[in-house]
Amino acid sequence: MMEQQTLLHEGQCGLCLHFGESHPQEPQLIQIRQKHEAPEDIIEECGHPSHAPLGLKVTPISGCAGFELAPEARETIH
pLDDT at 18 over 60: yes
- What CA–CA distance (Å, rounded) separates 52 from 5? 27
pLDDT at 25 over 70: yes
pLDDT at 78: 47
**Mean pLDDT computed over 19-25:** 93
Burial grade of 43 (CB within 10 A; 0-12, 13-18, 19 or more): exposed
- What CA–CA distance (Å, rounded) separates 58 from 50? 14
- When the pLDDT of each residue in the chain is averaged and rounded to a whole number, the result is 91
Q: Domain limits of the chain?
A: 6-74
Burial grade of 44 (CB within 10 A; 0-12, 13-18, 19 or more): buried
pTM of the model: 0.89
Q: Where residue 40 falls among pLDDT bands split at 50, 70, 90?
A: confident
Angle subtended at Cα 57 by Cα 55 and Cα 61, rounded to the nearest 5 degrees: 150
